[in-house]
Structure 1
Amino acid sequence: MVEDLIKKLLEAGVHFGHQTKRWNPKMKKFIFGPRSGIYIIDLEKTAECLNKAQDFAQEIVAKGGNILFIGTKKQAQDIIEEETLRGEMFFIKNRWLGGLLTNFQTVKGSISRLDEIEKMQENGIWENLKKKEVARLTKEKEKLLRNLGGIREMKVLPQAVFIVDPRKEHIAVKEATKLGIPIIAIVDTNCDPDYIDFPIPGNDDALKSIRFLTALIVDSVLEGKKEFLTNEASKKEQKAEGEAKSEETTQKESDKKENAPEPKASTEKQPV
């Protein structure tokens, strides 16, 4: 099993790190060694870390939680959107807005503004506006969709975040850390793994590597969803059984009262 995973990691190029001169010494424990001027990542360590990250992601979703996927570097953007939509989670792919997590109420206000603009357009209000005003609203709508489209249905803070390249997404890392939100991240040889709860040592630049690792996390998300739905169905079934038993008990008690014999009248003479 582990051997098969390592083989797939190898095929995806997950083991290729950065140039030896561009490394973070804190990643030493995840590095196999240098080769041709670049560091090679130890895929046994990657497989071990990946399994932990997958288990955690599945556990979060199985409990009804959500994961926010973050990847704003060019090679990660499309992958993050495609895979997150497959897993029915939330994503940020264009730009991280400062305060997105730590000032979430303001972000929710921006999402409400997007809803308002779209409702104005649907109700035909735009037709009565001047071209200049329509152009302004169109531009505002496009900007809001670009920055917040992937989280517009996210009503509460996520229970975890998944990050491609925490070095680039350092602001997101700081915000999640401040709020105590667990972080899963692909960490290359130039990253600092200290702030990552579930680091996945791997190539965070190659498309194939990013897609492979992200897809595995999303697979775990989908497993968690199945588990959640199964648990919810079981709870409903147990609740229905409990209500049925309660009704049955109530009915039996009612029947007992109806069928109980009438109390006999006393034949004793009352004192005069």
Structure 2
Amino acid sequence: MSIVSIKDLLQAGVHFGHQQRFWNPKMDHFIFDTRKQISIINLELTQEHLSAAASKVEDICSKGNKILFVGTKRSASKTIREEASQIGLPFVDKRWLGGTLTNWKTIRGSIRRLLDIEEMISSGRIEKLIKKEAVEIQKEYAKLQASVGGIKEMKGLPDAIFVIDVKYEKIAVLEAKKMGIPVIALVDTNSDPDGIDVIIPANDDAIRSIRLITKVIADACARGIESSKGFSPKSDSPVIQTVKKDDNIDIEKKSNVEEVSENKDSKKIVEPEEGAKDLEMKINETTNNDEDLLSNSQNEQKDVEEDSDSEKKEEE
């Protein structure tokens, strides 16, 4: 059962990948077509993988476990912070601190310092300090709040991480893999999907796309949290479906999906929820008529590249 419609995905611009010259060959499986030199993501696959991701996080949270939300780039930061904080889950919305997962002991020390300063402020003890000391502590507080404020309630390593843009958050992904922590992530057409446990093929630059996908994941987490308290049952796990790629067949056949079952020798072709012609027509309408959406998506991609360049300069 789909938890979000093709129409909603289209309206959010989820199908807009990067320019074809930036495509990662490993993402070819998830690409429906190319329009105006932009890779178009197969939204039927996005639907299926998003449903699988939602089921995964719901199951994790239903057992009382925690998921860390990660999205530090400009287009993702606000959404990650708002959605995670609303359901009481940890998040990293600013810069990822190296060692957040692999050197948790040191990070925990920074969290303790942040909590100590918060206690100083709430108790009024900071007002008893001389002005210079108080100002220095306020600066330290602002820095700690930005770096570890979103994970200050995290008692230990998370049981999974949800990531916006695995290329931008490559350090977080590498640390999670090293620690054996499952990674659930939005993966765009320019990214490497290897090592990602649950791939959600989607536009990871456009704010509307990020907001829609993150909302679905956060809502699933909320259901799991409620289930762990005995309020509601868990949903059944959806079947992940994948498109068979064949350059020698027409576009209608490209959209047929192959049901993946536990018995690899027993596979059957099933008709997708949205027909290939319908999907192609909807994508054509969107790419031809919604130039603003495409333009915004490309501008947000440029913002991400600028953010990445500025971070490199800061590190140098």
Question: Who is 2:144 aligned against?
Answer: 144
Deviation string 1:132-154 (CA, Å, 9 cap, x unpaired) is 21111110011001111111000
* Cα distance in 1, alignment partners of residues 4 and 181 from structure 2: 32
Deviation string 1:96-128 (CA, Å, 9 cap, x unpaired) is 000001111111111111111222333443333
| C-alpha deviation, 1:196, in angstroms | 0.6
User: Relative to structure 1, is the Cα distance of residues 3 and 213 closer, same or farther in structure 2, using a 3 angstrom cutoff?
Assistant: closer
Question: Who is 1:185 aligned against?
Answer: 185
Question: Who is 1:270 aligned against?
Answer: none
Question: Who is 2:168 aligned against?
Answer: 168
Question: Who is 1:195 aligned against?
Answer: 195
Question: Who is 2:66 aligned against?
Answer: 66
Pairing 1:17–2:17 present: yes
* Cα distance in 2, alignment partners of residues 55 and 121 from structure 1: 41
How does the TM-score come out when normalised to structure 1?
A: 0.82
| C-alpha deviation, 1:2, in angstroms | 4.0
* Cα distance in 2, alignment partners of residues 123 and 46 from structure 1: 49
Question: Who is 1:97 aligned against?
Answer: 97
| C-alpha deviation, 1:231, in angstroms | 7.8
* Structure 1 range deviating more: 9-18 or 80-89: 80-89
* Cα distance in 2, alignment partners of residues 79 and 111 from structure 1: 23
The unaligned stretches of length 5 or more in structure 1 are 233-272
| C-alpha deviation, 1:87, in angstroms | 2.2
User: Relative to structure 1, is the Cα distance of residues 69 and 125 closer, same or farther in structure 2, using a 3 angstrom cutoff?
Assistant: same
User: Relative to structure 1, is the Cα distance of residues 86 and 126 closer, same or farther in structure 2, using a 3 angstrom cutoff?
Assistant: closer
Question: Who is 1:119 aligned against?
Answer: 119
Sequence identity (%)? 50
* Cα distance in 2, alignment partners of residues 196 and 97 from structure 1: 20
Superposition map of 1:1-272 within 5 A: 2=2, 5-230=5-230
The answer as to whether partners of 2:4 and 2:47 remain within 8 angstroms in 1 is no
The code of the aligned residue for 2:90 comes to F
* Cα distance in 2, alignment partners of residues 229 and 87 from structure 1: 14
How does the TM-score come out when normalised to structure 2?
A: 0.71
The code of the aligned residue for 2:47 comes to A
RMSD, aligned CA: 1.6
**Larger of the two Rg values belongs to structure:** 1
Q: Which has the higher helix share?
A: 1
